[in-house]
């Protein structure tokens, strides 16, 4: 392995499973493909099988995001926005979809359905008590949209 790379092991659970891959050398995400043919009705939900399970180092996790190309063709989204795969999970990677259109969406074996980004985990330590005050910031208590846009 090259310095700075991590070792990820994939287990093939289906004959139609494909290893995730980057579209270009500088792509942040690894494209994940469907290992089954599935149709999702208008306004419906479905979980798409990838036929893959994985093992990554204990201090890593994977984030599963929608692919922008698929979202441009079909206004759909992952049912929970972003999926998180913990380092101790050994089950099949499933991609939950919501079809936000008025047409049926067909997903074929080998279709790139999501992308995975691997990140290193940092542990947070919490104070074991509540505090009376928090430090001031420019944003303060401003919530959604408070910084413009």
CATH classification at residue 91: 2.70.40.10
Q: Find the domain containing 35 and state its range.
A: 9-120
Q: Dihedral sign, CA of 39, 21, 31, 117?
A: positive
User: What are 84-133's pLDDT values in tens digits?
Assistant: 999 999 999 999 888 888 889 889 999 999 999 999 998 877 766 788 88
User: What gap in Å lies between CA 16 and CA 13, rounded to an integer?
Assistant: 9
Q: Are 38 and 107 in contact (CB under 8 A)?
A: yes
**Which residues, listed in sequence order, are joined to residue 84 by a DSSP beta bridge?**
63
Q: How many domains does the chain have?
A: 1
Mean local confidence (pLDDT), 15-24: 95
Q: Please report the pLDDT score of residue 51 as a whole number.
A: 97
The whole-number pLDDT of residue 66 equals: 82
What b/e readout covers 82-109, taking b as 16+ CB neighbours within 10 angstroms? ebebeeeeeebbebebbbebeeebebeb
Quote the longest CA-to-CA distance of the chain. Answer: 57
Q: What pLDDT, in 10s, does the model give residues 50-69? A: 999 999 999 999 999 887 66
What confidence score (pLDDT) does residue 87 get?
Answer: 94
- Domain assignment present for 93: yes
């Amino acid at each position: 392995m090259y310095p700075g790379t991590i070792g990820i092991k994939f287990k093939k659970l289906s004959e139609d499973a494909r290893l995730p891959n980057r579209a270009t050398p500088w792509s942040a995400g690894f494209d994940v493909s469907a290992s089954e043919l599935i149709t999702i009705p208008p306004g419906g939900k479905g979980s798409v099988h990838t036929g893959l399970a994985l093992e990554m180092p204990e201090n890593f996790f994977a984030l599963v995001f929608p692919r922008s190309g698929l979202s441009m063709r079909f206004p759909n989204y992952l049912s929970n926005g972003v999926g998180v795969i913990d380092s101790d999970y050994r089950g099949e990677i499933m991609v939950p979809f919501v079809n936000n259109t008025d047409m049926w969406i067909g997903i074929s074996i080998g279709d790139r359905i999501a992308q995975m980004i691997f990140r290193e985990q940092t542990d947070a330590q919490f104070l074991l008590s509540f505090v009376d005050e928090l430090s001031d910031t420019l944003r303060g208590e401003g919530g959604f949209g408070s910084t413009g846009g």
